[in-house]
A = this chain, B = another copy of it.
C-alpha cells in the first residue's frame, strides 16, 4: 500500500472547480490530491507574428509555481530575470497538448493563452495542469460560441494527462511528491479521448527501463486517464 493508502494503479482524488476566478474566459482550479493548480484560458483577438494573415488561430501556455507552492521556498523567476529550463519544458508541453485537440483553422485568427499557476505542489503538476487546462479551454471556447464569435466549439476531442513511474521496481500511477522523488523511472502520458497519444515523455531518473516496463507504465496510464476523461466530462456537463 502507498503512503497515502492508495493502490498501485489508483489515481489521487481529482477535483475540477470551474469559474474559479471571474475575469478569465475560462478559469478552473484543478486538484490531483494535494497538487492544486489554477488554470485560466484567456482569449485575445490576435495571433503571434508568425501566424498573421494565415487565417489560423493559436493556443499557447505559460506555467509557473508560486514561490511557496513547494516544501522550501523557491526564488521567483521574475526576480531572477529569466525563466528556467524546467518551466520552459513544461509550458511547451502544455501548449502542444492543447493544440493537438484544437482545430486551429476553425478558431480563426485569435489566440487562447492558457496560464497554469501552481498554488500547491505535491507531484504531477504538469499532468494536473493539462487535465485542468482542457476544461478551462472548453469554457473559453463556449464563451466564444455564446458571444457569436464562433459557430461551434473548435475542440476535436478531450485531452488529459497522467504520470506513471517505477518506484522500488513497482509501477505506480499518479506519483505524489515523495514517490516522484524516489522514482527510478518517470513517464508522463498525454492522451486523447479516442485512446491516442499526443505526448509521451519517459525519463530514467536512475536506472534505464525495459520495453516490458514501458508497456506496463503505458497500460497503467491508459487506465488512469480514462478516469480523468470521466471527471472532465462530468464537470463540463454541469
Contacts and interface: CB of A to CB of B under 8 A. Distances in A.
Contacts of A209: 196-197
User: A-side binding surface: helix, strand, loop or mixed?
Assistant: mixed
Instruction: Quickly give the copy total for this chain.
Output: 6
A210 interface: yes
Given A23-B120, A88-B88, A66 B38 contact: yes
Interface residues of A, number: 64
A9 to B, nearest CB: 18
A100 to B, nearest CB: 5
A199 B69 CA distance: 28
Contacts of A22: 34, 120
Contacts of A196: 204, 208-210
Nearest to A206: B100
A131 interface: no
27 contacts: A21-B119, A22-B34, A23-B71, A23-B120, A42-B72, A62-B67, A62-B76, A64-B76, A76-B78, A77-B78, A78-B82, A78-B83, A85-B88, A85-B89, A89-B89, A96-B203, A100-B204, A100-B208, A117-B119, A119-B119, A196-B210, A197-B211, A198-B204, A199-B202, A200-B202, A211-B218, A214-B218
